[in-house]
Structure 1
Amino acid sequence: MAHLLYRLGKFASRRRWWIVSAWLAILLAVGGSAAAFSGTLSNNFTIPGTESQRVLDELRDTMPEAIGGMGTIVFTAPDAAMTDEQQAAVEDALADLEQVEGVESVINPFDISRQLEEGQAGIDEGRAEIEQATTELEAGAVQAAAGQADLDAQRAEFEQSRDLLPPEQAGAIEAQLEEGQAQLDASLAEIEEGRGQLDEGLAEIDLAERTLEASAGIKFVSDDGSAAVASVQFDSQIDAVTPETREAVQVAADAAAEVGVEVNYSKEIVQDISEIFGIAEIVGLLVAVIVLIVMLGTLVAAGLPLLMAIVGVGVGVGVTFALTGVISMSSITPVLALMLGLAVGIDYSLFIVNRHRTQLLRGMDLQESIGRATGTAGNAVLFAGITVIIALAALAVPGLPFLTLLGMSAAGTVAVAVLVALTLTPALLGFMGRKVISRRRWAKAEAESDLNSSHEQLQLEADKLAASGRGWGGFATRKPILTLVAGVAALAVIALPALELRVGLPDGGSEPADSTAFQAYELAGEYFGEGTNGPLLVVANLPATDSDAELSELQLEVADRLAAVDNTAAAVPAGVSDDGRTGIFQVIPTEGPASESTEELVRELRDSAPVIESDTGVLISVTGQTAANIDVSEKLMEAMPLYLGIVVGLSLVLLLLVFRSILVPLIATAGFLLSLLASFGATVAIYQWGWFGDIFGVTNPGPILSFLPIILIGVLFGLAMDYQMFLVSGMREAWVHGGSAKSAVRVGFSHGARVVTAAAIIMVAVFAGFVFSHLTMVRPIGFGLAFGVLIDAFVVRMTLVPAAMYLLGKHAWWLPKWLDRILPDVDVEGAKLAQSVPATTTAASDDVDQVTVKG
């Protein structure tokens, strides 16, 4: 592979116009496709096979109107109850809002309040009428009883005198008595019928009162009249609502602000995920540029890795956006691709540029140096990129669709970054010529030449100093046992909070404190209960009923069962299908959507389903955004051990191939696990516990983003193996070329430390830029990756690994002979290239690959 890349580098340099033109054409084509075919990103995460997703799919057929996206608007009067003028302004604004294209319906809180009041008044009036009718009916019953007594007395008197009366007279009297009895029986029948009607009326009133009481469990206007919450239902799912519709909703509702009403919108209404790059990310890039300038000494050279990263990201993320028109993607998909594309794009190009600069300073011919840098450093870049790509592509293994798209998009962007580094970088190096090195550095090289000190001689002297214990490598290996104990102990302490890791998906409470989404979340919780921010949707399969009253009675019975479950604040029937066989209930938890009690409520509701079905014949299922988020989080945590096992196994196999050692892969993998756990711990401390919340903008600590752990595993694995490769391969090369095992650790470390330090700082800077992203969901990912790279590069790879390698000595490179024979030689550093391709230099070049910076 080194020979192939060597020829590719020279070809790209000679045919640089072709290469540049080809990449420009690709960039334009991808950009045009993204502009023409891109669709809408989503913040909804679903997993086929979960109960919440299955129920939602069924509702699409039975009650499609029930699955439209919902958002809330909170109206508040700052000082006291809303005035009539303010209330009228709010209602006018809601009436206008209902006419907005894309809005299915709007729940006017004052209408609901009036309906409840009118309903209660109607119930009271009806109950009073029934009481009056009952009184009259009972009076009639008393009269009928008295009439019956009189008639019975007359009949008894008639029977006593029947024999004394003429037959005609007796017949007439008997007919009169029978007619009287018939009239009395009719009156009694009317009384009984009236009683039945009154009982039915009373039952209807009781049913209406139960319904009213159940509905009263959800408030829309606060008790003091100073706040009201309106619900907006869209005609499509929330991720499909266009930015234009969201903006129109806000314009309509903002009209209420003209009379002094404060208007705040839930996250579902104001979220804007159309932009994935903000000010904070630019700051991160500026830090990367500063590091490049300091390291490379010239703006031209510093701009090259940055330009390569931009091209790679432009193509990789552009393809992702172009596919959003046909594939539903989460908003985090292009963001992760952007994040990784920038970081690895800069680093991979930097490794090749750094090798090229070193070779030029030795006097190597320009074309030869470009080819040699691509064949050596480029070979390492290719293998390092493959490890990252495999780790990201392995996100498809758990079988979660949105995670698969996430991994494939990021992996594709990294693949483009590798291709750009191996083709466009050498092409532009051909254009830059000697300008890739500053005049000051050239002058220094000439001064060294005038002093009869070749670069190789200076490097050999530096190697001797490194072997003697100079620099960080010497410090880390001077007392290796102490270094290992202290380092592992420190990382273990940082990792301790990971023991309390909880995962979930962000809600309005995760937004910045000054945002309208956070204010709406807080105000809704304050005035109407925390659970109103995350209602659950319970769907019921209802048996056939003979009447509407029987159906309503059944619904209320189920609602009572749901309300009796722990951690439930209210349960209200919210609708029924046209055929009466599917009912939906809104269940309000006692706490917010991200709380542990709400998670427990979802489980208890599902556990109670068999009992409810046995007692009522109604089968219930739980869905809704809150339940779906909980299902997604649980599935991701279930998939994490499998994915971690795959990544660790992959790590051992790859490192076994690269370093031809048993212990080095074990050390590298153990270091990766330490970095991972420390990153988990720090992320939990800040985003779940709220430590340093003011610094990182954590206003409402809560569960960690559910797919953050699995992303950290994949990304940190790939990046950790990058640094492991660039550092430890230098140690192996120094050992193979005859140095003692312990001195080889220090010498090899000194060769790669500078470029790895710069690369790690750049990567941390890029990731850290996302810590303050305008996309709240991205922030913990940016922090986790930045902290993980910082710990892995500087604590694990540059401190603990050298200490462990130094302590093991030659045993670190032990490999059974039988395994050595069957393992392929991947030659990551391209060491064989120097033996088969002579270099054209103006100085001795036999030791070119012995003293180059390992990158």
Structure 2
Amino acid sequence: MASLLFRLGSFSFRHKWAVIAAWLAAMIAVVSLVGVLQPKFAQDFSLPGTDSGTATEQVEEYFPQVMKEQERASTSILVAADDGLQNHTEQINKLAEDLRTLPDVIAPETVVNPVVAAAVDPAIAPSVLGDNGRVGLIQVRQNITVMDLTTENKEELVKILDENRGNGLQVEATGALMQVMEQGGAAELIGFAIAFVVMIVAFGALIAAFIPLVTAIVGVAITIMLLTLSAELLSINQSATAIVTMLGIAVSIDYALFIVSRYRAELNRGGDAADAAGRAVGTAGSAVVFAGLTVIIAVVALVVIGIPIITQMGAGAAVAVFIAVSAALTLIPALLGAFGRFAFRPKIPWIKHAEQTEDGDTLGVRLGRTVVKAPIPFIVIGLFALAAAAIPATKMELGLSLSTEDEAPAQALLSKGFGEGINGPLLVVLHDDDAPIAPVANEAVKHIAGLKDVVNPGSLTWIGNEGGQNGSTALITVTPKSAPSSEATHTLMENIRAYSPVVDKQGAELHVGGQTAIMSDLSQKLNDALIPYLIVVVGLAFLIMIGVFRSLWVPLIGTVGFIFSVLATFGITVAIFQEGWFGIITNTQPIISFLPIFLIGVVFGLAMDYQVFLVTRMREEYIHGMTAKEAIVAGYRHGARVVTSAAIIMISVFAAFMLSPETTAKMMGFALASAVLFDAFVIRMLVVPAVIAMLGDRAWGLPKWLDKLVINFDIEGESVRHRGLTDPDETKTPVPAS
């Protein structure tokens, strides 16, 4: 493979303009297609093959009017006053009047002061007034589909809220209008800016720092456009785009950074620039291909779980990584060829940049010598710190909130005034193909009304499909007293499902759906898949690393380290987002259901990246004659700067997504940033080299019988490292280990 990559790198360098034009043409083509087709993302979640998934399908089939209503924009306006809403009548009347001016309001005569509405019709009082008249609800429905809402619509509502709050009256909103996302790209811009600064420090030159950003912009643009185009044919949830974007930016810049760094090193060895580009792609490119393939395998394996949103994220992430690898192997050498001798000129004079010589005393070398001298403290302190960070993971609760941070105050008022369960009603669907559903539905209503934790059981009723009393399907909306993610709500859902055998005996069927049931089923399905997936990924990591490092100890160290970094990431994420430690997150909530399993796949791939780029150089120097400890220091010399830069870039890109108002992006960004911090700086930079130093020559041992069976992955590019050099013999001065 190294020879093929050498030719690809040289070709791209020599035919730079054709390669650059091809990439630009591809980007323009997909952007144009998106502009013409204008695909739209789905806002809902589906879970085929589960009880809630079946309920959703039946609601779609037999209650199209319900589904149509759900597609329309509906926003809940909450008003609250400690001294009672009746003391703010004029102010609330003005609010209702302003709300009626929103575009395409359905039945504007119903958008009124809840105190007035309750007085006119006492029967609806419990649904519009709560907390003894201190909290009120105004429902605003618009004849606009959720997907057609714009940021201007949201700004119009926010302006009305701001103008009418005050004087002791709290005014908040939750629902469709508040969930409109601004497409400002602030997180991406911050990530790019920090990455640019880091690469300036790494290369000491502006153009060299700029080149990886170009590939990231092109690669991510193509990936997102392809994902958007797929929404024309498939139901793609918008949450997938945020995760694909952050991963695409991070790996694109990282892989480009590795190639550019190696190219500079190859230029310093002499020879033709095109051959230097070929050697860079043949050596560092081999590691990039391996690292990228590892990530792709890990995220594609998520498809077997059978959950659409996980499949979308896995497939999108795989495409992002594939394009990042392709850009690193072709677009990077083409851009290096286009800039020529100016790629690393002019150098920035105030940035001291040590060249990668064999006798330079860099910070990485000093760290390597320290680790080699006293490995045990680094091992103990590193693993103890990660174990301590993992402790909060024992309290992990899984769920999925579709609300944004802007909606938190309104959600709190809803819970205070009308009970926590109003945010997540259960939809009970009863269906009979052969007889009217009415008798079964009447009995089911009586049974459910007698269950614990049902709000207003006396008013519980059912609606039929088109046939009414003679229809085949009934829908019962059950509001729990407890929060959607609570154990009490889960118990209520299971108790309703436990009535299913009674319904079955009557020739009908019962299913429980709604967003709360979907999230509960999703969490259960992911919980069931988490351990098997972790075992598969850990096993895969171990087997692949045996082939890469020709060792048993190094893969074992790396795999155990991966487990520690994942558990520590779970722990710190639970502490911040669920438990509210340090006050960083005010709107605490359960951990997103799919985060743990998706994180395992992504962190596995990223862990292999840093293991490959740092430890392979140690092995390379060891097999070329250095002692085990000298090889470790040499590995730090050649790999510490680039791995540190790559990790800082990834952390910055991921952490920038915490600025997003979307819960999924915020939590995933924090978790990925934490994972890279733990894995790159604690495990790969400290613990793994320390254990190798402690083991010495034994670290690189592989039984002869196993050595014959295991495939030898030449990711160091040994076969091309001297191509194009007139004097291929390099005399290396061993780096002192102490």
Q: Report if TM-score (shorter chain) is over 0.5.
A: yes
The RMSD of aligned alpha carbons is: 3.5
Taking the TM superposition and a 5 Å limit, the aligned residue runs for 1:450-529 are 459-462=357-360, 471-508=366-403, 511-512=404-405, 515=406, 517-529=407-419
> Cα distance, 1:847 vs. partner?
2.1
Match of 2:633 among 746, 749, 753: 746
Match of 2:535 in 1: 645
CA distance in 2, matches of 1:766, 1:381: 19
Matched, 1:817 2:700: no
Q: Give the match for residue 10 of structure 2.
A: 10
**Equivalent residue for 1:583?**
474
- 1:31 deviates by 1.0
State the partner residue of 2:461.
573
Choose the corresponding residue for 1:266, options 174, 192, 196. Answer: 174
Query: How far is the alpha carbon of 1:713 from its aligned partner?
Result: 0.5
Deviation at 1:85, TM superposition (A): 5.4
Which residue of the partner structure matches residue 595 of structure 1? Answer: 486
Q: Does 1:242 align with 2:132?
A: no
Inter-partner Cα distance in structure 2 for 1:507 and 1:783:
18
**Matches of residues 199-238 of structure 1 in structure 2 within 5 Å?**
218-222=126-130, 224-225=132-133, 227-231=135-139
Query: Residue 775 of structure 1: CA displacement?
Result: 1.8
Q: Write the distance in 2 (CA, Å) between the matches of 1:518 and 1:428.
A: 47
Partner of 2:238 in structure 1?
A: 331
The answer to which of 661-670 and 784-793 deviates more is 661-670
What CA distance in whole angstroms lies between the structure 2 residues aligned with 1:712 and 1:538?
33
Rounded Cα–Cα distance in structure 2 between residues aligned with 1:3 and 1:95: 69
Relative to structure 1, the CA distance from residue 91 to residue 315 in structure 2 (aligned partners, 3 Å threshold; closer, same or farther) is closer
Report the Cα distance in structure 2 between the residues aligned to 1:253 and 1:659, rounded to whole angstroms. Answer: 58
**Is 2:570 aligned against 1:680?**
yes
Residue by residue over 1:629-654, the C-alpha shift from the partner in whole angstroms, topping out at 9 and shown as x without a partner, is 21112112222223222212221222
Determine the C-alpha separation between the residues in 1 that align with 2:119 and 2:441: 23
Match of 2:306?
399
* Contact residue 39 and residue 324 of structure 1 kept, 8 A: yes
- Map 1:256-335 → 2, pairs under 5 A: 263-273=171-181, 275=183, 278-335=185-242
Deviation for aligned residue 1:44: 2.4
Matched, 1:689 2:597: no
**What is the CA distance between 1:575 and its match in structure 2?**
2.0
Q: Which residue of 2 aligns with 1:722?
A: 609
Aligned to 1:62: 62
Contact 1:535–1:626 (CA under 8 A) maintained in structure 2: yes
Instruction: Quote the offset at 1:332 in angstroms.
Output: 2.0
Contact 1:43 1:330 in 2 (8 A): yes
Structure 1 or 2: larger helix share? 1
* Contact 1:733–1:850 (CA under 8 A) maintained in structure 2: no
1:344 to 251, 269, 276: 251
The residue number in structure 2 matching 1:156 is: none
In structure 2, the CA distance between the partners of 1:72 and 1:540, relative to structure 1 (3 Å rule), is: farther
Residue 81 (structure 1) aligned to one of 70, 75, 85: 85
Closer/same/farther in 2, CA of residues 319 and 801 from structure 1, 3 Å limit: same
**Aligned equivalent of 1:559, options 428, 435, 445:** 445
Contact preservation (8 Å) 1:93, 1:253: no
CA distance in 2, matches of 1:582, 1:398: 31
TM-superposition CA deviations, 1:216-240 (whole Å, max 9, x none)? 7x5222365454324456789xxx6
The 3 A distance-change label for structure 1 pair 224 and 569 is: closer
CA distance in 2, matches of 1:37, 1:850: 61
1:28-427 correspondence runs (5 A): 28-67=28-67, 68-69=69-70, 71-76=74-79, 78=81, 80-82=84-86, 99-100=104-105, 113=118, 117=122, 218-222=126-130, 224-225=132-133, 227-231=135-139, 241-244=146-149, 263-273=171-181, 275=183, 278-427=185-334
8 A Cα contact 2:425 2:516, kept in partner: yes
Partners of 1:72 and 1:229 within 8 A in 2? no
- Between structure 1 and structure 2, the one with the greater Rg is 1
Query: Does the residue aligned with 1:583 lie in a helix, a strand or coil?
Result: strand
Q: How far apart, CA to CA, are the structure 2 residues paired with 1:420 and 1:61? A: 45
1:53–1:623 CA contact under 8 A, matched in 2? yes
Whether the 8 Å CA contact 1:347–1:759 is kept in 2: the answer is yes
Given the superposition, is the C-alpha separation of residues 305 and 252 from structure 1 closer, same or farther in structure 2, using an over 3 Å criterion? Answer: closer
Q: Which residue, out of 601, 607, 629, partners 2:498?
A: 607
- Cα distance, 1:52 vs structure 2: 1.2
CA offset at residue 62 of structure 1? Answer: 2.1
Q: Any conservation in 2 of the 1:671–1:796 contact (CA below 8 Å)?
A: yes
1:751 positional shift? 1.9
Please say if residues 223 and 323 of structure 2, whose CA atoms lie closer than 8 Å, have aligned partners that are also in contact.
yes
Cα displacement (A) at 1:73 = 1.5
Partner Cα distance (1:767, 1:249) in 2: 27
Shift of 1:472: 1.2
TM-score by structure 2 length? 0.89
CA distance, structure 2, for counterparts of residue 253 and residue 311 of structure 1:
35
> CA 1:105/1:26 → structure 2, altered by over 3 Å: closer, same or farther?
farther
User: Could you tell me how far apart the structure 1 residues matched to 2:151 and 2:660 are?
Assistant: 21
SS in 1 for 2:639: helix
Stretches of structure 2 that go unaligned for 5 or more consecutive residues are: none
Provide the rounded CA distance (Å) in 1 between the counterparts of 2:101 and 2:351: 74
**Alpha-carbon deviations, 1:528-563, whole Å to 9, x = none?**
2222122222223479999xxx96x98666434323
C-alpha distance in structure 2 between counterparts of 1:620 and 1:634, whole Å = 20
SS in 2 for 1:670: helix
Mapped to 1, the partners of 2:231 and 2:689 lie a distance apart of: 45
For residue 569 of structure 1, give the secondary structure of its aligned residue in structure 2. coil
Q: Deviations over 1:782-823 (max 9, x none)?
A: 011001001100100011100111122222222222332343
Distance 2:514 2:402 in 1: 14
On the 8 A contact 2:150/2:180 being kept in 1, the answer is: no
Unaligned 5+ segments in structure 1 are 120-214, 449-454
Superposed CA offset, 1:497-534 (max 9, x none): 112211110144xx43xx2x222212211222222122
Once residues 519 and 528 of structure 1 are traced to their aligned partners in structure 2, the CA distance between those partners, rounded to angstroms, is 14
1:186 aligned partner: none
Q: Partners in 1 of 2:410 and 2:590 — Cα distance?
A: 20
